[in-house]
Amino acid sequence: MADEEQQADTLTAEEDQPLNLQVEVTSPSDCERHVTVTVSREDIDRYMNDAYSELMPSANVPGFRIGRAPRKLVESKFKKEIAEQIKGSLLMDSLTQISEEQSFTAISEPDLNLDAVEVPDDGPMTFEFDIEVRPEFDMPKWKGAKIERPVRDFTPADVDQHLEKMLARYGQLVPHEGTAEEGDYLTVNITTSCDGKQLEKEEEHVLRIRQKLSFRDGEIADFAKLMGGAKAGDHRKVELELTQDAPNESLRGKKINVDFEVLEVKKLKLPELNEEFLAEIGDFKTEGDLRDAIGDSLKRQLEYEQQQKIRSQISALLTKSADWQLPPSLLKRQSARELERTVMELRRAGFNEAEIRARENVLRQNSAASTARSLKEHFILERIAEEENIEAQEGDFEKEIFLIAMQSGESPRRVRAQIEKRGLMDVLQNQIVERKVLELVQEHAKFSDKPFEPENLDVEAVNLAAGGGEGPASASEPAPESTEATES
């Protein structure tokens, strides 16, 4: 028994024995590291010996009973398989040890070509990889920051305006024989082209006539003027300048043609605020209950706007000297995650899908700049969280998911399942931690209140890249029509 315990202790000691690594790190940029690793021959032989010792009892060599073949023959027969096996073990253990010993904080998986790594018959094993890391920086002073805080007392008129927007989601679209005016709805075929070549075509799209029309890659500023007086059978044409972040790289910054073929004009008929309707949209006994709920929603939206205004000021303060060069590949990959984070925050704050889609398109139109700014913010907020031991707790996840579920009308369980299925729990975790950090910064800040005027987002958003070259699906996953109103 004592011998078995001694052997177990010996095996544990061998497993815990660190590798004798030589690690060279170079810095191509602030957020990139190139790492060259040399594994000693002693470590290779130790792993090799352990692997063969484990294999011997079950080794099947012709001419010998299982487990009875001489070690030399076992080594000769299984040399290739064992080399591949210990290669994986050495790489995994090396990367784990490097992550614990090196000062950099990785923000991506190592870019390692496994096929290029070989276990040599003699001498050390060398491999190299690239990895993206959080830039190194001196923490700025954040305690005692002077910050302007937007404040507002919502009036009955604010509630009326929000109520009208909410009722529009449940309204009916009624065909109209006359011409269209601002606020009406159109069923249109949207065709985009450049130099006579068609780029995209969206058929029978229902959109509302607002001051602006937003695509993923551009915006028509005078859309209401363009479509004013339109009737079925009309074609309205306009030039659209694509942004520098348009998915179609060949057309970035160029002008394309957009043709709207009007198929039908519709008016919106709002539902009556009766007991039946109140019961249908929620557990509201009276119109007063509904107005109270709208008031709560407006307060959450104000809280979101406060967080954004405060965040931008804190960001300006903290990132003042953050002149890091962020790799384009990192910005491109992180832009989708940043979009997901923003959409989740908007849902939590109670914005409807049309408002979310409009803000989402703005982010898409300026994805490189907005992603770079957000990443810099994240790096600094993450450092504060580490130094102040701020973490996301299970109760925090439940609260966030509940607030998102309230806006979407789905159960918290279903919302959580969707977030997990899309691999966004880490995005939600970052959102929670960053909010906690911002709250901590605010606790130590010196505030001056400033009246807040809600932004008038008179924008109709289309989930379409007018220039083609569509990227990933919309983070907000909106319905195909721009309004939730039903057709009569």
Tens-place pLDDT, residues 149-208: 888 888 898 888 888 888 888 888 999 998 999 999 999 999 999 999 999 999 999 999
CA distances from 215 to 218, 227, 251, 323 (A): 5, 16, 15, 31
Indicate if 405 and 306 belong to the same structural domain: yes
pLDDT at site 470:
60
Indicate if 357 and 451 belong to the same structural domain: yes
Indicate if 26 and 73 belong to the same structural domain: yes
Indicate if 98 and 193 belong to the same structural domain: no
For residue 133, give the amino acid letter: V
Indicate if 246 and 372 belong to the same structural domain: no
For residue 76, give the amino acid letter: S
Indicate if 189 and 286 belong to the same structural domain: no
Residue 384's domain is classified under what CATH number? 1.10.3120
Each residue's pLDDT tens digit, 67-112: 888 888 888 888 889 899 999 999 999 999 998 888 888 888 899 9
Indicate if 41 and 183 belong to the same structural domain: no
Residue 121's domain is classified under what CATH number? 3.30.70.1050
Domain that includes residue 356, residue range: 146-164+278-457
Contacts 24+ apart (CB under 8 A), 151-157: 151/306, 151/449, 151/450, 151/451, 151/452, 152/302, 152/451, 152/452, 152/453, 152/454, 154/295, 154/298, 154/299, 154/302
Indicate if 286 and 257 belong to the same structural domain: no
- 30 pLDDT above the threshold of 90: no
Tally of domains in the chain: 3
pLDDT at site 7:
47
Indicate if 358 and 313 belong to the same structural domain: yes
Task: Kindly state whether residue 7 falls inside one of the protein's structural domains.
Answer: no
* Residues 202-229, mean pLDDT to the nearest whole number: 93
Each residue's pLDDT tens digit, 234-268: 999 999 999 998 999 999 999 999 999 999 999 99
Task: Kindly state whether residue 4 falls inside one of the protein's structural domains.
Answer: no
In which band, very low, low, confident or very high, does the pLDDT at 15 lie, cut at 50, 70 and 90? low
Task: Kindly state whether residue 477 falls inside one of the protein's structural domains.
Answer: no
- 125 pLDDT above the threshold of 80: yes
Indicate if 37 and 117 belong to the same structural domain: yes
Indicate if 47 and 100 belong to the same structural domain: yes
Cα gap 246→467, rounded to integer Å: 7
Indicate if 212 and 239 belong to the same structural domain: yes
The closest alpha carbon to 331, from 377, 365, 363, 372, belongs to: 372
* Residues 362-368, mean pLDDT to the nearest whole number: 78
More confident call, 133 vs 283: 133
